[in-house]
Chains A and B, each alone.
Chain A
Amino acid sequence: MQMVIMVSIEIWIYAIEATIFTNIRLFLAYMISLVFSLTVGIAAALNERLGKIIIPILDILQSVPILGFFPVAIYLLVAVFPDRIGVELASIFLIFTSQAWNITFGVYQSALTIPSEFKDLAKAYGIKGLKYVTRIVIPSTFHSLIYNSMMAWAGGWFFVTACEMISMGEFNIVLPGLGSFILMSAYKGDFYKLAIGLVMMLTSIILVNLLIWNPLLEKAEEYREVARSITSPTITVVSTSFLIDFLSAIYSKIDDRLHQLISKIPRETWNRILSKAMLILKMIMVGVIIAVVFLGVFCISKAFPTIIEFFFSMNFTLYLYNALTGTALTLFRIIVAYIISVGWILAVCILVENRSKLFAYSIIIGEVLASIPATIWYPAFIILIEKYGVDPNIASILIILTGMQWYIFFNVMGGVKGIPLHFRQVARLYNIRGRLYVSKIILPGILPFLVTGSISGWGGAWNTTILAEYITTGKDVIYIHGIGGLISRAANLGDVGGLFFYIMWMSIFIVLFNKLIWSRLYKVISEKYLAEL
């Protein structure tokens, strides 16, 4: 009896430790994403020339399947750093890449669309430079920043579990964390531990939401302060104003200190420092480019024979055949998942759009569900497929769904909130209801957001196929033919040539797909509907 209790306490302690590790990883990655998004997003918005360079790069980075590059990142980082540190860095890097682009685009967009009255105010009263950024730009982006951060945090859980257990050919590593804790328990069939792991995960997701995101979102709503939202759509479960006070105190402290520091330096010196810094920055950039080119040339020339040999040993016809058929199948699965997502999300959205309490709860529930990583269903899927003969395509589509639907959900919900109050009032006044109300007021209001969400959602879906078409619990492997599965399999079997080929193929395909389809659609829809608001 005593033994059992002892063991169980140890398990709990271990689970808590794992929870802390995972949360630290998430936190570090998020902090890097935050700093990156604010600097890059604001710089791109305020400086047109920078924007012209930054935005297309981000556009490509956003559409590239990050999970596919993860093995590459590990190879590189492990080569430079000791194993554990290398993998830790790779995992933080992976989470960062899953968060940063979305937040950056949000910041960029809202910094670009600062209300003209605020711009006039700043101009007329000479509020410029750092003061303009800290007092006007950053607060203006706050709502989008928090909303996207919330989504990113949920997405982070998805990725953190994916990178706590890595197996690539010979190379197997398990990082201590909740993700690996849950997966290992599941693979071993230890349901007691699995339950503990799930409880810990849900608890930390809910706590972070209630204690951090929800109060911040509430604050952000106040900052928006325009007559275009449901009244008070967030709910306060616990009073967390101390956190807000604390954070804003820190913010204004930093702001003041920075200004003091800058005001102490005379203007001339300051200008000289700035131009020096720009010069140094340029020199560093040139230096880095030269170094990269040299290194590249050196490596290639050194490894040239190997590369040639490798190149010729690659079975291109097989790769090409696989990639073509795989892409077609994957596309089919994503389309099915997309139809399902849009269906249920529109239904929920119509259900809650006029009920502010329900709206707030659905956001929280969505946030929790979105955080549950697809990989924890693997053991269940394997049992379903192998024991009960369920079609593996269904499992695959369900996993894709988990990586796709939440982007759409949160964007559409954000859009619902943005429908101007007077539209609804007009609708009520003239008794516009039912189908007419949905098609003339709700749908046009959310359509641009549906498209934005769809773009992110499809990005998420492509990425998720890497997990969804290669279901593995270590010993059991189910491969479902598709481009994502090809990448996973190549990584797992250590087929570097295939890995390289499939990743490139998929990246190029997605970029083209986005350029040819989504960008055009977005342009048409945003021109037609966004101007009215």
Chain B
Amino acid sequence: MGTEWWDVEELDELPVLLELIKVKKTYVIGKRKLEVIRDVSFKMYDGEFIAILGPSGCGKSTLLRIIAGLEKPTSGQILFMNKPIEGISPRIAMVFQSPALLPWLTALENVSLVLEARGMDKKTSMEIARRYLSLVGLAGFENSYPRELSGGMKQRVSIARALAVSPQLLLLDEAFSQLDPLTAESLRSEILDLWRMGVAGIRGIILVTHAVDEAVFMTDRIIVLSSRPTTVVKEVVIDLPRPRNRRSKRFLEILDEVYEYIS
């Protein structure tokens, strides 16, 4: 039958892009069981940029990997546009914690590879890859190898790669945590710019982070997770206009509020 995202029942709200229902994850390592995610449910609306915030090791990456289809939840369901996710969805792209660039391919080839994997011919995929590289400010570095790029540039290639496949949902796993503060800050504002301009038809972004400040600065809503085994502690809506001022009273208030939930 298949319902489409626009004919949702609750019309009092925006259409739901992604919904997690009672997601649980327990790893079994030999005889030991490691309960990582106890119970996580939340909704994400169309056009939203949300953050998943939690202490290190609480299972944020695991949750994101489940959403990306890289891992199966032990129980629970994930609906993307009201349909259960089965395996990898071509409409969801992920930027990993490490850039995960193949050292034997140039920046351009790293991006075009994922397009070729989707059946695009070599020439077109090269063209598109070039476009996205220049979008993230890497024009002129197409033929550089990852080892010749700085940490920030590598992460940019990784972002270009995710954007190039025109995803509807973009997942960022601590995309800025391994960068120096200045590079991280400029990459943050670039992501926000891309988001505002509505590049590549992205309809939602999930940013996983353990940095409260980053979450409040960038996103519309924060899902605060407890430490392991993780549950949702609180959802905090950030009703600040963009660009945001980190010194504003309201910003600091929200920051304090979130810090309270996390500790």
Contacts and interface: CB of A to CB of B under 8 A. Distances in A.
Interface of A: 117-118, 120-121, 123-128, 131, 135-136, 139, 142, 222-225, 256, 259, 263
Contacts of A125: 93, 113-114, 117-118, 161, 165
A460 B65 CA distance: 46
Contact of B70 (A123, A131, A142): A123
A424 B93 CA distance: 39
Contacts of A263: 119
B102 A139 contact: yes
Given A125-B117, A225-B146, A135 B105 contact: yes
Contact of B102 (A126, A135, A256): A135
A89 B256 CA distance: 79
A298 B118 CA distance: 55
A223 B103 CA distance: 5
12 contacts: A117-B98, A121-B100, A121-B102, A123-B88, A125-B117, A126-B88, A131-B113, A135-B113, A139-B102, A222-B104, A222-B145, A222-B147
Given A125-B165, A126-B90, A225-B146, A120 B118 contact: no
Q: Top 6 nearest A-B pairs by Cβ distance?
A: A225-B103, A125-B114, A117-B100, A139-B104, A127-B117, A121-B100
Contacts of A225: 103, 146-147
B122 interface: yes
B110 to A, nearest CB: 9
A124 B90 CA distance: 8
A120 B119 contact: no
A142 B119 contact: no
Contacts of A222: 103-104, 145, 147
B105 A126 contact: no
Contacts of A117: 96, 98, 100
B147 A131 contact: no
Contacts of A127: 113-114, 117
Nearest to A131: B117
Contacts of B103: 222-225
A121 B96 contact: yes
B116 interface: yes
B94 interface: yes
Interface in B1-31: none
A128 B119 CA distance: 11
Given A125-B165, A222-B145, A120 B96 contact: yes
Interface residues of A, dominant DSSP: helix
A223 B88 contact: no
Contacts of A121: 96, 100, 102
A147 B109 CA distance: 26
Contacts of A224: 103
Interface of B: 65, 68-70, 88, 90, 93-94, 96, 98, 100, 102-105, 113-114, 116-119, 122, 145-147, 161, 165
Given A117-B96, A117-B98, A222-B103, A124 B70 contact: yes
Given A124-B70, A124-B88, 11 more contacts: A117-B98, A117-B100, A120-B100, A121-B100, A125-B118, A126-B88, A131-B113, A135-B113, A222-B104, A222-B145, A225-B146
B65 to A, nearest CB: 8
B102 A124 contact: no
Contacts of B93: 124-125
Contacts of B88: 123-124, 126
Nearest to B147: A225
Contact of B100 (A118, A128, A131, A256): A118
Contacts of B98: 117
A261 B146 CA distance: 30
Contact of A256 (B122, B145, B147): B122
A228 to B, nearest CB: 13
B226 to A, nearest CB: 25
B117 A128 contact: yes
A434 B58 CA distance: 42
A223 B104 contact: yes
Contacts of A139: 102, 104
Nearest to B164: A125
Contacts of A126: 88, 90, 114, 117-118
A131 B116 contact: yes
A124 B122 CA distance: 20
Pick the most buried of A118, A131, A135, A136: most chain B CB atoms within 10 A of its CB: A135
Nearest to A126: B117
A222 B122 CA distance: 25
Nearest to A121: B100
Contacts of B145: 222
Contacts of A123: 70, 88
A120 B70 contact: yes
A224 B69 CA distance: 28
A139 B113 CA distance: 14
B11 to A, nearest CB: 34
Nearest to B118: A126
Nearest to A136: B102
B113 A124 contact: no
Interface centre among A124, A142, A224, A259 (most CB of B within 10 A): A124
Q: Which of A120, A224, A256 has the most CB of B within 10 A?
A: A120
A503 B100 CA distance: 50
A225 to B, nearest CB: 4
Contacts of B69: 124
Contacts of B70: 120, 123-124
Given A135-B102, A224-B103, A124 B68 contact: yes
A148 B113 CA distance: 29
Nearest to A259: B116
B105 to A, nearest CB: 7
Contacts of B96: 117, 120-121
A263 B117 CA distance: 11
A312 B161 CA distance: 73
B154 to A, nearest CB: 11
Nearest to B90: A126
